[in-house]
Structure 1
């Protein structure tokens, strides 16, 4: 497609402006029990986690995140790669859409998979959807995760987070997970439960750091 000189110059100006306002940050955390959608990822043990994120004022972002895992097999590391876009639909609704690859270097064949996701927030409520995009031996849409989260401010800068999620499809076990978290500053403690399989109530605590680079 042809562009006029003016459009090309405007595009170059936008690119330079975006790069000039780009941000690079890092994060690290420790958690007593790594849970994902209510399911234990480190055999009930602690995990050390961290990542890098790039974002610019256009709304585009990309990043990577890693954690130790223990599924009883060869996989010992989870490495996530993701990219997406954030913005606003109107004055009240914000959105975050993107793609994430869940990779397990050195793990068994078939562990790696990718999802397309969308999260939509209005005030304290966030609803999300994640759809299987790619996996060995599975088709697009073979799993679906729906979630809702609600944040309630408490006194002394504490916050109560309430969560419910539904994971279903041929690629996943059909589960519903519920949870609650109390957080303040970098600390969080929480409780989680799934309705199928291991139905024990799971407790966890975490501490997180964020760094501007």
Structure 2
């Protein structure tokens, strides 16, 4: 955790120093989804979730934000756990490599699961560093855990690689796809798995978005899930 705190402080100070009188923008979303899947795994036992987030982005490229969702997987794993909420905080820098059309993004994110836990329970709070590239409709992101990964003992050093695409094939309509792999470090390495998704989205002029997405993974064999989500941006 100390290494992440150091990185966060460096990013925060650099962003503030580069800011000056430049402009910043605040944006946010609220989403209702039929199921919350994270890296191919349901966080709500295939039940609906309410989600929302806010981000502050500076024209220098520095940004910071928070995002949250209702969850049930911790309480499902142990009835003595009261946590029903995931809260994420993140900050980083993003920009472009000149006129190449290639964008970059680096930062840190902390996943926090507030609540009451029984003695000896391995809390799921996790901190990751990430770096990503984007080019046209394609993007790739690599994440590295500097703490244990979501409560798995001795799993610090775990990593995740995501590849995704988003193609607007008609005004307001998009095809989206993603594939990724989660590597779990340490003695829990047998939990390493792949996941993938494909879907279609529709954006409206009033700030609403609809998304229909199919998800699957190879962690426990076929586990395909179809989700429907409606999002309001502001």
Q: Which residue of 2 aligns with 1:94?
A: 103
| Partner residue, 2:85 | 77
Provide TM-score, normalisation by structure 1: 0.85
Alignment RMSD, CA only? 2.0
Within the alignment, does 1:193 sit opposite 2:216 as a pair? yes
Tell me if the contact between 1:179 and 1:190 (Cα under 8 Å) persists in the aligned partners: yes
Structure 1 alignment gaps of length 5 or more: 1-11
1:16 paired residue number: 20
- Residues in 1 aligned to 2:221 and 2:41: alpha-carbon distance in whole angstroms: 8
1:131-170 → structure 2 map (5 Å cutoff) = 131-135=144-148, 137-138=153-154, 140-141=156-157, 143-170=158-185
**1:133–1:139: 8 Å Cα contact kept in structure 2?**
no
Which residue matches 2:136?
Answer: 123
Deviates more, 1:112-121 or 1:152-161: 152-161
- Indicate conservation of the 8 Å contact 2:35/2:44, yes or no: yes
Q: Structure 1 runs of 4+ off > 6 angstroms?
A: none
**Pair 1:17–1:41, CA change in 2 (3 A):** same
**Structure 1 residues 164 and 13, CA, compared in 2 at 3 Å: closer, same or farther?**
closer
Partners of 1:158 and 1:184 within 8 A in 2 = yes
Query: Which residue of 2 is the match for residue 181 of structure 1?
Result: 199
TM-score by length of 2: 0.78
Q: Which residue pairs with 1:57 in the alignment?
A: 59
Which residue number in structure 2 is paired with residue 7 of structure 1?
Answer: none
